[in-house]
């Protein structure tokens, strides 16, 4: 996610803002910048790369004066990481500057309108469009900055946390929030701004958290004014006394980044389908697919290459894509694909899945595929990453930075993107009818809410982890769409708790693994009331006949499995096609709590790296 920082008061703004940006580095970013106002001149310094690079550039520029400043660490969503696309962005007049965390979905249409009115744009960002929209409204209405920002935000669709400064009114910073976090720190004759409190906790523990749909005017020697964007209603200013440590703040109050990222999944999925799943228009918009539609619909087959959790997402995609589009799909470990002299033709479409966009094996598989004339489509989480740049087209997951080494929100957002692709192709190929399409997109639209409900199983997952934390082995079983979920659950447990675990298709148990089962073996079974439910119930009976301990993930209201299993975690009913987005959650939480109870380093497990950039 981007990070925003601001300061208005009596201190040296450059050091407050730079140190504040450093506190936000944990959020992950690809470029940084700041704007300083010294009472006469407004100067923007920004650069691709780290805050340390910004610091050097600022020192060399000499533009360090000023007691008012705003700063930004960028996690690219529109426009690749480079100096020009970094924030802050000037308006055309050079009198306004803005920093922004979020995504403006309708920026393109606004940009076209402003271009017609003579505005010019230096960057590819949605943010530069927003600051010029504010300027256009100011010029037309002569309204104050706060009101101009408010009117501009009424025209945009998307998510934002913004800070705007106007040299014409230099004692004020205007902020606003919808969907991205924004905190205001209250000092003595000074105010701070941050994506969270970490940039200003060393100065003050008094903070105001803006709510969605609110805009605020922060003026020196005046009280803060907050009002609602939609209806002008003034909002009482509620100042909180923060108790959180700096470290806790970075994790949003969660004990580990992994737990924070598990809980971010409802929003991450929403951010991933935002602007793509147009529920009212009953359509899916994905430029990367639309511009290459025939390549997909005429493909002989789709080959998915990935590693680890991304490979598991690819396996889920195999079921979904084949089911909805009837295009043959093969899922390959990139590390095997790159060396086994595979058959690849120009009629193949390769989908490369990678959270980091830097995994060496996946990158090598892409290069091999391109050498053989195949079209390569990337599904990455890092804008401008190597894999994103190497592929012919792609679609980003908008999970935001995933700090925990164990992948969680990357998995569910990858499945979200791949589901959107399958739906779009199925409709285009007419292998699904309109009713099926509508049923699936409306259910997908419900998933974030159902995922929030699924997260209520957290305490149950903790209780079960307490029972089995000292197990030496664990089996994960699932059928159909939930076989890949079983594999993913096993990977989560082994990589953070170091307990050996294996995932299997439930029916495979009879072909060997059942020999492992005794009273010391916990077996996690995904047994939702979809697919071959009755057969999965039989598998559970076979396990119980051999004294195995069954932890079952079931659809809420299930009574059959409840009578058989030793432990049950209920999840909301959903379509089998979309069920991995929910069934994986209890497995993430079970693994997380097991590792915590075993005092493992959950966010940085031994021997593992977040991105395997070497063979």
Considering the complex, state which of residue 104 and residue 305 has its C-beta at the smaller distance from ligand AGP: 305
The SS3 assignment for 365 reads helix
Nearest approach, Cβ of 332 to ligand AGP (angstroms)? 14
By C-beta, is 35 or 406 nearer to ligand AGP?
406
Minimum CB–partner distance for residue 504 and ligand AGP (Å): 18
Closest to ligand AGP by CB, 5 or 334: 334
**Which DSSP symbol is given to 329?**
E
Catalytic site residue from 2, 380, 457, 474: 2
Tokens, residue 74: 């960028």
- In the beta sheet, which residues pair with residue 218? 173
- What is the four-CA torsion angle of 341, 343, 348, 349, rounded to 10 degrees? -20
User: 282 catalytic, yes or no?
Assistant: no
| Those residues with Cβ within 8 angstroms of residue 319's Cβ, 6 or more apart along the chain or in another chain | 480, 481, 484, 577
Among 173, 176, 304, 307, interactor with ligand AGP by CB under 6 A: 307
CB of 357 to ligand AGP, least distance (A): 7
**Of 166 and 488, CB closest to ligand AGP:** 488
DSSP H or E segment with residue 564: helix 560-564
Which window, 257-265, 401-409, 431-439, 535-543, contacts ligand AGP (CB under 6 A)? 401-409
Tokens of 237: 């200013």
CB nearer to ligand AGP: give 198 or 309: 309
For residues 397 and 460, which CB has a smaller minimum distance to ligand AGP in the complex?
397
By rule CB under 6 A, what string of x and - marks binding of each residue 407-426 to ligand AGP? x-------------------
Binding piece for ligand AGP, criterion CB under 6 A, among 41-49, 211-219, 306-314, 421-429: 306-314
Residues 352 and 367: beta-carbon distance below 8 Å: no
Q: Is 251 a catalytic residue?
A: no
Joined together, the tokens standing for residue 555 give 């659809």
Among 6, 88, 308, 448, binds ligand AGP (CB under 6 A): 308
Q: Which is nearer to ligand AGP, 235 or 612 (CB)?
A: 612
Binding mask 554-593 for ligand AGP (x = CB under 6 A): ----------------------------------------
Of 206, 370, 469, 610, which is the active-site residue?
A: 610
Q: Contact at 8 Å (CB) between 351 and 305? A: yes
* CB 309 to ligand AGP: min, Å: 3
CB of 319 to ligand AGP, least distance (A): 19
Longest dimension (CA), the chain: 81
| Tokens at 44, concatenated | 């923007």
Q: What is the rounded distance in angstroms from the CA atom of residue 368 to the CA atom of residue 580? A: 31
- Give the separation between CA 273 and CA 476, rounded to whole angstroms: 29
- CB 6, CB 70: distance < 8 Å: yes
Cα–Cα nearest to 257, from 583, 486, 457, 496: 496
State yes or no: residue 310 binds ligand AGP (CB under 6 A). Answer: yes
CB of 29 to ligand AGP, least distance (A): 17
Stretch that binds ligand AGP, among 61-69, 260-268, 315-323, 404-412 (CB under 6 A): 404-412
Residue in 472, 471, 461 with CA at minimum distance from that of residue 551: 461
Pick the binder of ligand AGP from 63, 101, 309, 529 (CB under 6 A). Answer: 309
Q: How far is the CB of 595 from ligand AGP (least distance, A)?
A: 12
Q: How far is the CB of 176 from ligand AGP (least distance, A)?
A: 34
Choice between 190 and 332, CB closer to ligand AGP: 332
Cβ atoms of 208 and 183 closer than 8 Å: yes
Q: How far is the CB of 356 from ligand AGP (least distance, A)?
A: 3
Helix/strand/coil for 594: helix
Q: How would you class 121 by CB atoms within 10 Å of its CB: exposed for 0-12, middle for 13-18, buried for 19 or more?
A: middle
Instruction: Return the exposure string of 546-574: e unless at least 16 CB atoms fall within 10 Å of the residue's CB, then b.
Output: eebbbbbbbbeebeebeebbbbbbbbbbb
Shortest reach from residue 329's CB to ligand AGP, in Å: 18
Degrees, nearest 5: CA angle 420-421-424 = 85
Q: Which of residues 467-496 bind ligand AGP (CB under 6 A)?
A: 495
> Contact region for ligand AGP (CB under 6 A) — 181-189, 400-408, 430-438, 519-527?
400-408
Rounded-to-5 percentages of helix, strand, coil across the chain: 40, 25, 35
DSSP structural state of residue 211 = P
Size of the site for ligand AGP (CB under 6 A): 15
Which one among 406, 440, 465, 477 touches ligand AGP, defined by CB under 6 A?
Answer: 406
Stretch in the footprint of ligand AGP (CB under 6 A) among 64-72, 123-131, 304-312, 589-597: 304-312
Nearer to ligand AGP (CB atom), residue 467 or residue 612: 612
- How many residues can be counted in the chain? 615
Region 334-393 residues binding ligand AGP, contact defined as CB under 6 A: 354-356, 359, 362
What is the footprint of ligand AGP within residues 542-561 (CB under 6 A)?
Answer: none
Burial label, 515 (beta-carbon count in 10 A; 0-12, 13-18, 19+): exposed
Q: Is 11 helix (H, G, I), strand (E, B) or coil?
A: coil
Name the residue whose CB lies closest to ligand AGP: 308
**C-alpha to C-alpha distance for 521 and 474, rounded to whole angstroms:** 6
Q: Give the Cα separation of 453 and 391 in Å (integer).
A: 37
Pairwise CA distance, residues 107 & 130, whole Å: 8
CB 457 to ligand AGP: min, Å: 20
Q: Which is nearer to ligand AGP, 68 or 406 (CB)?
A: 406
Between residues 148 and 362, which has the closer beta carbon with respect to ligand AGP? 362
For residue 148, CA distances in Å to 155, 174, 205 come to 11, 10, 31
Contacts to ligand AGP from residues 491-510, by CB under 6 A: 495
Q: Which spans of this chain sit near ligand AGP (rule: CB under 6 A)?
A: 307-310, 354-356, 359, 362, 405-407, 495, 611-612
Positions marked active-site: 2, 610
């Amino acid at each position: 996610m981007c990070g925003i920082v601001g300061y208005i008061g009596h201190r040296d703004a450059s050091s407050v803002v730079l140190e504040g940006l450093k506190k936000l580095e944990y959020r992950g970013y690809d470029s940084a910048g700041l704007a300083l106002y010294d009472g006469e001149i407004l100067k923007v310094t920004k650069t691709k790369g780290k805050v340390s690079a910004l610091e050097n550039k600022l020192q060399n520029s000499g533009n360090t004066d000023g007691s008012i400043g705003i700063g930004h660490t960028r996690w690219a969503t529109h426009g690749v990481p480079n100096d020009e696309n970094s924030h802050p962005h000037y308006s055309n007049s050079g009198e306004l500057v803005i920093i922004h965390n979020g995504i403006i979905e309708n920026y393109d249409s606004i940009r076209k309108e402003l271009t017609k009115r003579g505005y010019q744009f230096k960057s590819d960002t949605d943010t530069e469009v927003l600051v010029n929209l504010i300027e256009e409204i100011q010029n037309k209405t002569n309204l104050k900055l706060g009101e101009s920002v408010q009117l501009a935000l009424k025209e945009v669709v998307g998510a934002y946390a913004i800070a705007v400064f106007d040299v014409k009114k230099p004692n004020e910073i205007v902020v606003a929030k919808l969907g991205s976090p924004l905190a205001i720190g209250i000092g003595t004759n000074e105010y701070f701004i941050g994506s969270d409190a970490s940039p200003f906790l060393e100065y003050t523990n008094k903070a105001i958290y803006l709510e969605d749909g609110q805009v605020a005017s922060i003026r020196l020697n005046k009280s803060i004014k907050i009002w609602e964007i939609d209806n002008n209603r003034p909002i009482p200013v509620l100042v909180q006394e923060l108790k959180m440590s700096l470290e806790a703040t970075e994790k949003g109050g969660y004990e580990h980044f992994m737990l924070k990222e598990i809980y971010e999944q409802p929003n991450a999925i929403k951010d991933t389908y935002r602007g793509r799943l147009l529920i009212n228009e009953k359509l899916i918009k994905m430029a990367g697919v639309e511009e290459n539609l025939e390549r997909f619909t005429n493909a002989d087959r789709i080959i998915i290459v990935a590693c680890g959790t991304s490979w598991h997402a690819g396996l889920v995609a195999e079921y979904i894509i084949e089911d909805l589009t009837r295009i043959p799909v093969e899922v390959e470990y990139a590390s095997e694909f790159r060396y086994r002299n595979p058959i690849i033709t120009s009629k193949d479409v390769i989908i490369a899945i990678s959270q980091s966009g830097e995994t060496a094996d996946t990158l090598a598989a892409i290069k091999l595929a391109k050498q053989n004339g195949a079209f390569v489509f990337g599904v990455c989480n890092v804008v401008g990453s190597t894999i994103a740049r190497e592929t012919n087209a792609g679609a980003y997951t908008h999970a935001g930075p995933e700090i925990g080494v164990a992948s969680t929100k990357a998995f569910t957002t990858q499945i979200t993107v791949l589901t959107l692709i399958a739906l779009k192709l199925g409709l285009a190929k007419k292998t699904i009818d309109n009713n099926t399409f509508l049923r699936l997109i409306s259910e997908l639209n419900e998933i974030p809410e159902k995922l929030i409900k699924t997260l209520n199983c957290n305490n149950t997952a903790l209780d079960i982890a307490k029972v089995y934390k000292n197990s030496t082995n664990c089996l994960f079983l699932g059928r159909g769409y939930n076989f890949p979920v079983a594999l993913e659950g096993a990977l989560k447990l082994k990589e953070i708790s170091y307990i050996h675990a294996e995932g299997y298709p439930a029916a495979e148990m009879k072909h060997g693994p059942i020999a492992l089962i005794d009273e010391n073996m916990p077996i996690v079974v995904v047994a939702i009331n979809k697919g071959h439910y009755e057969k999965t119930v039989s598998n559970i009976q076979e396990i119980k006949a051999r004294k195995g301990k069954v932890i079952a993930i079931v659809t809420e209201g299930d009574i059959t499995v409840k009578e058989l299993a030793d432990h049950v975690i209920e999840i909301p009913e959903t379509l089998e096609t979309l069920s991995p987005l929910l069934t994986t959650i209890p497995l993430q939480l079970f693994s997380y709590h097991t590792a915590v109870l075993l005092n493992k380093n959950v966010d940085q497990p031994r021997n593992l790296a977040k991105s395997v950039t070497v063979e």
